[in-house]
Structure 1
C-alpha cells in the first residue's frame, strides 16, 4: 500500500482507502454485521488506515461497525464521518449549529470514541456554504477535542471552491472518476494552493466502471441505482455519476476495447491516483473479494501519457456534454 498526506491535516493515509456506504451488504439489502466486520478487518490487514463512514449509512450501523473495528485493533486507524443528511427536510433553513453539534455527538457515541479524526458536512444545500456560523461551530468542537479536523463532501465543483475559502476546512470529498473529470480544472488548482486534502468518492461511477453491468442487469428496488436515476430521491449525480445508464454501458465498452489487457476497475482507480492532487480514493465494497480487487489497483503500472489522452478523448466525445457543467 502507498500512503499520501491528507492535505493540511498532516495525516498519512492509504491512497486506496475504504468507503462504507454499502459495507455490510449491497445497496438495498439488510445490513450484515459479520460481513461488515470481515470487510473492515481485511481492509486493515491489507494496509488501509483511513475509513470513511457517515451517520446515515444504514442508520448508524456502519459507524457502529467501524467502532467495533477500532476497539479490536491496535493499528492507528483514521476515521472520517459525515453529518447533516439526517436533516429532514434537507434544506438550508434546517441547518443549524445546534443540530450539527448533536449529530457529531451521536457519531462519537456510535463509534465509541472521544475524538473524530475528520468530520465532514454531508453534501449540504449550496446556501449552507455561505453561512460562516455553521463553519465556526466546528472550531468550537475542535477546541473541545471532539474533532481533529473539518472537511466537506460536496455535489458541485462550485461548492468545493466556496468551502475552501474557510480556513478550517481541511479536506474536500468530491465525485471524481473517468466519467466526472471537471474537478481536475480550477478546483484542483485552488486546492493545491491551499493544501486541501482531496478524497475522491464514487470512483467507479456506482459500479458502471466495474465493467460488470449490462442492459439485463437488475437492481434491488431499494438500491439508488434503481430509484434515483433521475434524481427523484437525492442529487442525480450520485447515481452512475449522473451519466445515463445505457450511455454509460456503451462508453464502458469503448474503454474495454482500448484497454483490453487491464481490469476496468483497476484502470478506473489508477486513473484517479494518477492525479497527484488526490489524497485518497474511497471505493466501497459489499464483500471481501471486491475490497481485495480494489486494493490491488494500487500496484498496477502507472498510466502512460497515451493512456491518459485516450481516456480524455473518450470522455470529451461521449460523456462531457451530459455531465461537465452540471456538477
Structure 2
C-alpha cells in the first residue's frame, strides 16, 4: 500500500481506501454485518487505514457506522474514520440545516461507533445554499474545540459547491465524484485545492460499476438498487448514479475504453487513472464482497497510464460523456 497526506489534516492515508455505502451487501439487500466485517478485514489486511462511512448508510440509520465502530475495536492498527452528517434531514432542504441539528447527528455518530472523537466529519452533500451560511461551519469549530471531531470536510455534488466550501478556513477535505466519466473537477477545482492544501477524496470512482466493464444492455439491477430507481434522479442527485451518464451511452463509451486497455482489468485501470492526479489524496471505491477489495487494491500494481492512453481516454470523454455531464456538476 502507498500513503498520501490528506491535505491540511496531515493524516497519512492509504491511496486506495474504502467507501462503505454498500459494505453490508449489494445495494438494496438487507445489511449483513458478517459480510461487512469480512470486507473491512480484507481492506485493513491489504494496508487500508482510512474508512469512509455515513450515518445514513445501510437499510437503517447507523448500520454502517455501527459495523465500522465494532470493527475498529477489533483491530490493533491505527484506522482513520470519516463519517458524514446532514442527509437525515427530511425534506433535505437548506432550511433544515441548523447547527443544533448537525451537532446532534455528530454526537449520535460518536455513540454508535463508540468513539471519543471522529477523525473527519463531512457535511453530506447539502443543498448549495448551505455553503453560503457561515454559522453552519462555525458549529464544527465548536465541536473541534470540545474534542468531538478532529477535522471538517465536505462531500459535494458540484464543483461550484467545492469551490465555495473551501473558502471556509476549517474545511480540510472535499469528497467529490471524480472518474473517467466525470473529469471536470481536474480543471479549476484541483488547482484551487492545491493552493489551499485541501485533501481530495475521489468517490464513485467506477461510475456505479460502469467502469468495471462488466455491464451490458442485458444487465439487470434489483428494484431497491439506485442503479434501477435513480437513473433520472428520482430519489437523489442523478449524478450519484452512473455519474449522471445515460446508461446506454455509458456502455458505448466503455466499449471504446476496452480497446484502450486491451486485456487489462478495467476497474483497476480506472482507479489507476484517478491516482495519476497528484491532487488526489485517495480514492474510496466501495465493495459488496471481499474479492472486490482485493481487486481494488490491485490497482496499485498497475503502472501509470501511458500518454497515448490518457489521450485516448480524453477522446472517449469528449465524444460520449462531456456533452451530457461536463457543465452539470
Instruction: Please give the TM-score of this superposition, normalised by the length of structure 1.
Output: 0.99
Which stretch of the first structure deviates more once superposed, 253-262 or 199-208?
253-262
Matched, 1:292 2:294: yes
* Residue of structure 1 in register with 2:143 after alignment: 141
Which residue pairs with 1:47 in the alignment? 47
**1:59-97 alpha-carbon deviations (Å, 9 max, x no partner):** 211001110111111100000000000000000001000
Counterpart in the other structure of 2:8: 8
Shift of 1:261: 2.7
Deviates more, 1:305-314 or 1:245-254: 305-314
Q: Which runs of 5+ in 1 are unaligned?
A: none
1:118-147 C-alpha deviation (Å, 9 max, x unpaired): 000000000000000000000000000000
Residue 157 of structure 1 pairs with residue 159 of structure 2: yes
Partner of 2:175: 173
Q: Quote the Cα distance in structure 2 between the aligned partners of 1:117 and 1:51.
A: 10
RMSD, aligned α-carbons? 0.5
Q: How does 1:1-327 map to 2 (within 5 A)?
A: 1-58=1-58, 59-327=61-329
CA deviation digits over 1:137-188, x for unaligned, max 9? 0000000000000000000000000000000000000000000000000000
Q: Distance in 2 between matches of 1:42 and 1:215?
A: 32
Cα deviations across residues 204-246 of structure 1 (Å, max 9, x unaligned)? 0000001111111111101100000000100000000000000
Within 1, Cα distance between the matches of 2:301 and 2:110? 35
Taking the aligned partners of 1:274 and 1:261, their CA distance within structure 2 comes to: 20
**2: CA distance between counterparts of 1:137 and 1:286?**
35
Spell out structure 1 runs of 4+ moving beyond 2 A. none
Distance 1:42 1:117 in 2: 21
Q: Return the alpha-carbon distance in structure 1 between the equivalents of residues 309 and 257 of structure 2.
A: 10
SS in 1 for 2:51: strand
Q: What CA distance in whole angstroms lies between the structure 1 residues aligned with 2:309 and 2:106?
A: 43
CA distance in 2, matches of 1:223, 1:303: 32
TM-score, normalised to structure 2, is: 0.99
Q: In the aligned structure 2, how far is the partner of 1:113 from the partner of 1:191?
A: 30
3-state DSSP of counterpart to 1:56:
coil
| Distance in 1, Cα, partners of 2:64 & 2:269 | 28
Unmatched runs of 5 consecutive residues or more in structure 2:
none
User: SS at 1:37's partner residue?
Assistant: helix
